[in-house]
Amino acid sequence: MATLASRLNFGTARQLEVLGAMEGFIRKQIEAHKERRKLWFPNELQPADANSSPEDEALLTRLRDAARGIPVAVLVALALNLLTEEGLPHFHRLIAVHFGSGNVWAEWNNTWTAEEDRHGCAIRDYVRDARLYQMTEVEKLQYAYLEAGYDPDWEQDPYRLLAYTSLQEKATQISHSNTGRMAGTAEPRLQRVLAHISGDESRHYAFYRAAFGEILAQDPNQALVSLQKVTLGFSMPGHTVTNFDQMSEVIRRADIFGPRQYQKIVEELLDHWKIGALTNLNDVGEEARDKLMKVPKRLQRIADYADAKTTKRTFKFDFLPADRPSLEI
């Protein structure tokens, strides 16, 4: 019978050994994850059943009224959140390509994908029912994003994938919950949808953080090198979306997500994994550890610089509603 390591696709001999030996650990993490989660479905948040009741129809009218009060910056953030979530095929594929099939990692990938798939559905159900956007414009962005493919330069390093997902799950959690909070005054229903999604992201974060923590324990030198590369070069999952730069600039200016939020994530992870206290490393590991410990300061400088040169600007997007096609922020 093929060993687990032989069913993993990429990695050095040592990485395959480490990841293969983690089968029991990952299985326990999957079980703990399933105990922590409460499975929810998009239809429970935004019902669309056959023979809908008069209350359901009245809800749609209330929803469309409330949606007009959602700030335009929130509309931009929500559009990017939707595009990112609907980019799920990219991420399922990346995990499948790096971790192969017929093993415990693939089992996690399937569970994770089933959970993530509801995120795009739930946001899309909401934005469609609320008539938030020029939907064809959103769909064109979505189509282009998927058709372009997505291949981050991880150099076939499976540790980088797990470092990336640790950072990315926390980043999406913050992005969804801040978007929801800013929408909440005008539209508590949208906040509720985003709170469900953000809850999932925090449990995914716990899974990947534990998985990468185990890698750090088993293979610290290589793990630090991989983590350092990903942390410095981190881009949000939707960064290849057309107009991503303008959208993420609005989101930064609205204080939903930007270098300041990313800095906090890096600090939290460095602290959780006790990176600064790691000893018994080789020269390469020590160098990576020291570089990593300098990342928060560097991110702070980036955030300060961005704030200092920010002056009000007008942003316009084709997907925004015709009566509110732009915003000044």
What is the contact surface with Fe ion in residues (CB under 5 A)?
Answer: 85, 116, 119, 169, 201, 204
Q: Name the minimum Å distance from CB 241 to Fe ion.
A: 15
Contact 97, 157 (CB under 8 A): no
- The amino acid that residue 75 corresponds to is L
Dihedral of alpha carbons 125, 130, 132, 137, sign: positive
Distances (CA, A) of 290 to 98, 228, 283, 293, 294: 28, 10, 11, 5, 7
Nearer to Fe ion, 72 or 265 (CB): 265
Contact 107, 30 (CB under 8 A): yes
The closest alpha carbon to 44, from 224, 192, 222, 244, belongs to: 192
Contact 199, 182 (CB under 8 A): no
Cβ neighbours for 10, distance < 8 A, ≥ 6 positions apart: 97, 98, 156, 157, 158
End-to-end Cα distance, the chain: 60
Q: Name the minimum Å distance from CB 209 to Fe ion.
A: 12
